[in-house]
Amino acid sequence: MPSNTIDGYTFAVNDEGFLTNREEWSEPLAQVLASMVGIGELTEAHWAALRFMRDDQAKTGVTPTLRRMQTQGKFDVKQLFALFPGKPAKLMSYLAGLPKPVGCV
């Protein structure tokens, strides 16, 4: 398994650059990654989504889908698209140090 190092953080990643060990994640690391993918400074709204994702994943073992963010987390999907432009589900799981949500198979 390859690992990446940036700003002194070293973490195991898969071939798409997603963290493979959620314990290697930290809030400062998420901020570094956010700057790299062009999101910039993470606001409270960003953090709310990322924290929900991590808490939910810790409970269920799987990364929540956008639908679950909407039904369980009460997030507005349109707002998530504004916060994490383009591919929110992918970007959010990337920044939350979680596997990409597999929309099942």
- Contacts with other proteins, residue ranges (CB under 8 A): 62, 65-68, 71-72, 77-78, 81, 85-90, 102-105
Q: What is the DSSP string of 29-57?
A: HHHHHHHHTT--S--HHHHHHHHHHHHHH
Minimum distance from residue 61 beta carbon to other proteins (Å): 10
* Least distance between other proteins and beta carbon 26 (Å): 27
Catalytic residue (one of 1, 16, 102, 104): 104
Nearest residue (CB) to other proteins, 8 versus 78: 78
Q: Which CB, 31 or 56, lies closer to other proteins?
A: 56
* Active site (annotated) includes residue 104: yes
Contacts of 10 (CB under 8 A, 6+ apart): 3, 4, 24
Reported as type and span, the H/E element at residue 4 is: strand 3-6
Smaller CB distance to other proteins: residue 2 or 103? 103
Phi, psi of 91 (to 5 degrees): -65, -45
Q: What positions carry a catalytic annotation?
A: 104
